[in-house]
Amino acid sequence: MSFFTSLTKTAKLNSTLKQTAEARKSEGSKADQLFKSVYKSYAEILGGDALRAQALYNWGFALLHQAKTKTGNEAAQLYQEAIDKFSFCTLIDPDYLGAAIDSGVAFMDLARLKAVDADDDLYEKAGKQFEKANAIQPGAASYNLACIYGLRGDTEGCLKALENSRNNGSLPETVDILSDPDMVSVKDQSWFIEFIESLNEKSEAVIEKKASAEESSAEENAGQTIKENPRSIEKENHAAPVGERERAEVIECKEASSTAVPEEEKSGQ
């Protein structure tokens, strides 16, 4: 692909991304028309250059979002198309984190749409995508895995995944975890309650540590001010009185006058 073609396709991709954002904000038939338009643009970008992982990912992401606005077979078809785009994307770029995570999300959404059991193959496929995401970036999809384990009632797997998510800084806010429907079957169990309490204790510890650090900083600044003031006072105490300074200035002026050459001597010279 020539340099000019690359620039042209990059510009088209950026334009299509903006159109996708507009489609996501729209509703009804207008949204469908916009989505149809961006899909055509993504296809044109890929024409003659299949190695455009970014275009494929965003194409799949648009399909995933549209699927969430539909029901029944129409939604199922859109989810499957999104999964196909994510799959193609990861074939091109195996380390494309977003494609791995969103592919798993699409499988889970499709599983919910079809109301299948937690042990269904769709959840298995979702789990594999989340594991792939974790291989790319540790902990990136651990919470998603915890959701699958939670749906299955796998307490050990769920706790391990939650801890992994926490340790890697990818855990959602506590309120979001408690309101997550995927955690309904486990959130009343003692181990889950203890885990949530540990999160609250950690948050309180962080707040206390921050407050202590701020207090120490304030005390240090106050001590520095007290330490500096005596030097200023001492300096002022050692300064010559105003009268003495004035007399010194007069003496200096007189000495300067006595050493000056008289005008007569100058003219005589």
Assigned domain for 181 exists? no
- % residues pLDDT > 90 (the chain): 62
Assigned domain for 218 exists? no
Length of the chain in terms of residues written: 269
Assigned domain for 98 exists? yes
Q: Which two tokens stand for residue 109?
A: 């959404």
Assigned domain for 255 exists? no
Assigned domain for 53 exists? yes
Q: What is the pLDDT of residue 260?
A: 44
How does pLDDT run across 201-233, given as a tens digit for each residue?
Answer: 876 655 556 656 667 666 677 666 555 554 444
How does pLDDT run across 46-87, given as a tens digit for each residue?
Answer: 765 556 789 999 999 999 999 999 999 999 999 999 999 999
CATH number at residue 117: 1.25.40.10
Assigned domain for 109 exists? yes
Q: What is the pLDDT of residue 153?
A: 93
What's the Cα-to-Cα distance from 233 to each of 57, 223, 237, 238, rounded to whole Å? Answer: 69, 16, 6, 9
What's the Cα-to-Cα distance from 188 to each of 183, 193, 194, 210, rounded to whole Å? Answer: 9, 7, 10, 32
Assigned domain for 247 exists? no
Identify the three-state secondary structure at position 152: helix
Contact 92, 55 (CB under 8 A): no
- Of 189 and 264, the one with more pLDDT: 189
Assigned domain for 26 exists? yes
pTM of the shown model: 0.66
Total of domains in the chain: 1
The range of the structural domain enclosing residue 66 comes to 3-137
d(CA 29, CA 20): 15
Cα-based angle 62, 180, 170 (whole degrees, multiple of 5)? 70
How does pLDDT run across 98-155, given as a tens digit for each residue?
Answer: 999 999 999 999 999 999 999 999 999 999 999 999 999 999 999 999 999 999 999 9
